[in-house]
Amino acid sequence: MVNEHDFVKLEELSSEVNGGKAIACSDDFFASMDNLCKPGRGIFIEDKFTDKGKWMDGWESRRKRVAGNDWCIVKLGLQGTIAGVDIDTNFFLGNHPHQASLEAINTNGEELVISDDLEWTEILAKTPLEPGSQHFFEITNNSSWTHVRLHIYPDGGVARLKIYGDADPGTARNSDELTDLIARDNEGSVILCNDMFFSHMQNLLKPGRGVDMSDGWETKRNRNPDNVDWVIIKAGKRGLIKKINVDTKHFKGNFPDQCSIEGCTITDEKELENPALEWSEVLPRTRLTADSEHFFEEELVNTGPFTHFRLNIYPDGGVSRLRIFGTK
């Protein structure tokens, strides 16, 4: 295992934002393989259980009582050369795999048909894993890959698998292969709000979904029916907006009735103090529901690009996360 490397600044080829997806596994009895490609490091909810056991934000197989090991195949959203990987066992403490290895394959544009005849190439030899930790490994094979297969020995849970590298020139992209323009990882930041009485505005850009109501931005109750609470976010990356996610997770009796989003382009943040600053409507005033992710695409009226965004909520309440996806 090595410390975090510069390769984490490259494209995350496996991210679901870029179209990455787990497509097959030997077993995901306790927690779905679909979690492997999600953003962030995964979360932990102490008292959350399913009918199969403890709810975990990752991929977790059952305890293996026969010979062999578990595996999961991930289709890369962007075909390319892999510079490094992060195998993250976040929150998997007494149930993490003791070892892992990684193989890769290039299907040359064909759909992967799983069989014993596939010729996988080992790009990371079997190596020890620690509980609750990120494991950064450099990959020295310079070939181009479309899929990877993660082996865990013998069983257990992995929160996230992140594959970093360079997408091949001319790699086809679609509307799902987007970048979160305001993500902290992309140097986005929350810089100003009018109220954060119950919980801090900085929570809006945290990775993953909120853990509870304290893990979001929540304003006090306002008795003025015309009140508007707001928060301003600086975009880390400028790009054309394709999709917005407003997440009210855990806010059930205190979610905002409605929200809207505006954008502006400035060179000096002192301009934000100017009441005459012109904001452009990105998302018109729209109703929200409790404890839900709200995705907006067709509703967007202006796709930018912008340097700053303002989320308005009517009349008050709590929002867990805000994501603004676009093409850089």
Range of the domain at 139: 6-172
Q: Mark whether 162 and 201 lie in a shared domain.
A: no
**Mean pLDDT, to the nearest integer, of 293-310?**
94
Q: How confident is the model at residue 2 (pLDDT cuts 50, 70, 90)?
A: very low
Q: Mark whether 144 and 187 lie in a shared domain.
A: no
Q: Note the pLDDT of residue 175.
A: 43
Measure Cα distances from 223 to 121, 193, 201 in Å: 63, 18, 21
Q: In what order do the strands lie in the sheet with 240-247?
A: 179-180, 321-327, 240-247, 293-296
Q: Note the pLDDT of residue 84.
A: 96
Q: Note the pLDDT of residue 119.
A: 95
pLDDT at 10 over 60: yes
Q: Mark whether 23 and 163 lie in a shared domain.
A: yes
Q: Mark whether 149 and 227 lie in a shared domain.
A: no
Q: Mark whether 126 and 162 lie in a shared domain.
A: yes
Q: Note the pLDDT of residue 43.
A: 87
Q: Which of 172, 195, 227 is the last residue of a domain?
A: 172
Q: Which of 147, 172, 197 is the last residue of a domain?
A: 172
> Residue 320 contacts by C-beta under 8 Å, 6 or more apart in sequence?
203, 204, 209, 210, 215, 216, 217, 247, 248, 249, 250, 251
CB atoms within 10 A of CB 209: 20
Block residue for tokens 């805000």:
322
> What CATH number is given to the structural domain containing 84?
2.60.120.260
When comparing pLDDT for 275 and 132, which is higher? 132
Overall domain count for the chain: 2
Q: How far apart are CA 112 and CA 109, in angstroms?
A: 9
Q: Of 43-52, 61-70, 72-81, 314-323, which gets the smallest average pLDDT?
A: 43-52
Q: Mark whether 151 and 192 lie in a shared domain.
A: no
**Distance between the two ends of the chain, CA-based, in angstroms?**
32
Q: Mark whether 277 and 163 lie in a shared domain.
A: no
Closest CA to 148 of 93, 96, 59, 76: 76
Angle at 324 between CA 319 and CA 326, to 5 degrees: 170
Q: Which residues pair with 160 in a beta bridge?
A: 88
Q: Note the pLDDT of residue 309.
A: 97
* pLDDT, averaged across the chain: 92
Q: Of 13-22, 91-100, 191-200, which gets the smallest average pLDDT?
A: 13-22
Q: Mark whether 57 and 193 lie in a shared domain.
A: no
Both tokens of 34, joined, read: 């679909």
Task: Kindly report, residue by residue over 122-147, the tens digit of the pLDDT.
Answer: 999 999 999 999 999 999 999 999 99
pLDDT at 1 over 50: no
Asked if 235 contacts 328 with a C-beta cutoff of 8 angstroms, the reply is no
Measure Cα distances from 306 to 212, 264, 309 in Å: 31, 5, 7
Residue 128 DSSP SS3: strand
Q: What are phi and psi of 156, to 5 degrees?
A: 125, -155
Q: Mark whether 112 and 192 lie in a shared domain.
A: no
Task: Kindly report, residue by residue over 142-199, the tens digit of the pLDDT.
Answer: 999 999 999 999 999 999 999 999 988 866 544 445 889 999 888 899 999 999 999 9
When comparing pLDDT for 92 and 170, which is higher? 92
DSSP 228-241: -EEEEEE-SS--EE
Prior bond of 315 cis (ω within 30°): yes
Q: Note the pLDDT of residue 158.
A: 98
